[in-house]
Structure 1
Amino acid sequence: MAKPAFLAPLVDLVFPPRCPLCGDALAQQGGLCAACWTQLAVPGEPACSTCQRPLADSVVRSGDVQCAPCMAEPPRHAGIAAATLYNDASRELVLAFKRGKRIALADLLSRLMVRSLPELQGEWLVVPVPLHRWRLWERGFNQSALLAARIARTIQQPLVVDGLVRQRRTPSLGGLGKRARAEALRGAITPHPGRAARLKGAKVLLIDDVMTSGATTDACLAALRKAGAGEVRIACFARVLNESLDHAGQGEPPLAA
């Protein structure tokens, strides 16, 4: 929740605004210093119209250009909106947010995610990627749910925070290959029985902090399809491109899940 404007000077006096990446002083809370802004890799054009994968500059800039992976294996989602491409700067922000428990960063990350979203027509249910209850207990919060709540409020769409449930605790995906990640998540994520009627036929905006190989979002997509959801779009703060993964089997970033 945003603090009242009249409290801002007091908050800034007690907690001087600092860049969450480098620690330099800022004029106000909630942003990055100029140098650190330039370290974020923001997706641009030309890019795949489906998955937002950057394409070579020689590619004709057209709204329907697709990358080779999407043409070879059409995705089951209606598009990916990533605020940044995964690099050292975005990794440090997510680590500070998720592992460092600096939940105030949800405001900054969600603002950047909203900027990456296409115009959404009609009603969309905003649904976060779920955490297993034991991991939620250990961490104290679901980072995707915090982002989803802020995004839903900003775009004025309904939030269904428990639309999906992670029924069993899955192992850390770091170091697992693509097949192993998919197997680890098989059947782990299901639609919430009490939200089935709301999900049926609905357009869903699925929220995650980092999208890596797509194993987690694929499991969520399968669960949403089981519930009868209609169009599903994915929004994340940082996207790891497949070609940046180590194909020897160390592809998943250490901050996954």
Structure 2
Amino acid sequence: MGDKFSSLEWLPDLVDRTEQPVQHRSRNFEVLSSLRRGLTVVLDALFPHSCPVCNELVQCDGGLCLSCWQTLELISAPYCERLGVPLHYDLGPNAWSAAALVNPPDYDRARAAVLYNGPARELVKRFKFYGEVRLSRFLAKCMLNAGAELVSLESFLVPVPLHRSRLRQRTYNQSALLVKEIGHHLGGRVLLDGMVRTRKTHQQVGLKRGARTANVGGAFHVAEHFLPLVSGAHVVLVDDVLTTGATVEECARVLKAAGARQVDVLVFALVDPENFSADNG
């Protein structure tokens, strides 16, 4: 079932909203709440939810079964302050990984919820390429813990943009869906069109590091209406997967050239640089 039926948000639109005495409104609210719960039970029985990875039956829409959840590799401390990749040992606060020391990125910090393997790969594939937009809620909720370190009320939350031709083909920008959910929970100033992709690029999948960087070079601009706001601003770029970082680094360079004070990156899944292959997202 679609989100409208699974959430039952349509139900209040079917009742009269004219002003009523407080006690009547309270009684009506109780009736509606009971009706919602009853309908939810019926719909769950008629249209049971399944795990988006293995199709095992689950209790809530978009959630994982216990087995798939246990195989998600959640990222927790210790991790690299700059790249967000897990560290094998706790090197103390603000520690950098070897990869960050050798080749520091153009963004300031990156954080991710999980490593990009196993169920995480399947979730991203279904969300990004198979139109399962309902997964945005689950992926965003996984990102909240990592995002809490980055996002403040003054932050601008900006999705990595799609080129208009790809947006027409896909019909949605998966990064923008994540921004909406994260902004709803963590605050910050959501700016869905803060950046523009002015040049159509090749899919990054299958490209090596150097080719990925060349592929996205000069492909992004700060939107005209964001230019007066970006000077001195803290921007959090949101995307589904961080692979080599070529795309978000190009976006960070453009934002900093426009005057951004700090650019951080928040993603659902992260490819560990030690395990990178060109076939990753």
Bigger Rg over Cα: 2
Shift of 1:10: 4.5
Shift of 1:100: 1.2
Residues 47-93 of structure 1 show CA distances to partners (whole Å, capped at 9, x for unaligned) of 21221222223x43x21211112122333222111011010211100
Alignment TM-score, normalising by the size of structure 2: 0.83
Distance 1:200 1:211 in 2: 25
Gapped runs of 5+ residues in structure 2? Answer: 10-32
SS in 2 for 1:234: strand
Q: How many residues align?
A: 248
Alignment of 1:22-41 (within 5 A): 22-41=54-73
Distance 2:253 2:88 in 1: 32
Residue in structure 2 matched with residue 71 of structure 1 by the alignment: 101
Shift of 1:140: 0.6
Distance 1:146 1:53 in 2: 24
Q: Which of residues 226, 229, 235 is equivalent to 2:257?
A: 226
Q: Supply the AA of the counterpart residue of 1:26.
A: V
Q: Which of residues 194, 197, 204 is equivalent to 2:225?
A: 194
Alignment TM-score, normalising by the size of structure 1: 0.90
Distance 2:144 2:138 in 1: 10
Residue in structure 2 matched with residue 113 of structure 1 by the alignment: 143
Q: Supply the AA of the counterpart residue of 1:28.
A: C
Range with greater deviation from structure 2 (156-165 or 20-29): 20-29
Residue in structure 1 matched with residue 170 of structure 2 by the alignment: 139
Shift of 1:160: 0.5
Shift of 1:95: 0.8
Q: Percent identity?
A: 35
Q: Supply the AA of the counterpart residue of 2:247.
A: T
Distance 2:147 2:176 in 1: 17
Q: Supply the AA of the counterpart residue of 1:93.
A: L
The answer to which structure has the higher helix fraction is 2
- Does the aligned pair in 1 maintain the 2:53–2:122 contact within 8 Å? yes
Q: Which of residues 25, 40, 50 is equivalent to 1:8?
A: 40
Residue in structure 2 matched with residue 173 of structure 1 by the alignment: 204
Residue in structure 2 matched with residue 89 of structure 1 by the alignment: 119
Distance 2:116 2:181 in 1: 21
Distance 2:155 2:43 in 1: 35
SS in 1 for 2:157: strand
Gapped runs of 5+ residues in structure 1? Answer: none
Q: Which of residues 96, 100, 124 is equivalent to 2:155?
A: 124
Residue in structure 1 matched with residue 85 of structure 2 by the alignment: 53
Q: Supply the AA of the counterpart residue of 1:46.
A: P
Residues 198-240 of structure 1 show CA distances to partners (whole Å, capped at 9, x for unaligned) of 2222111110001101111111111211221111110001101
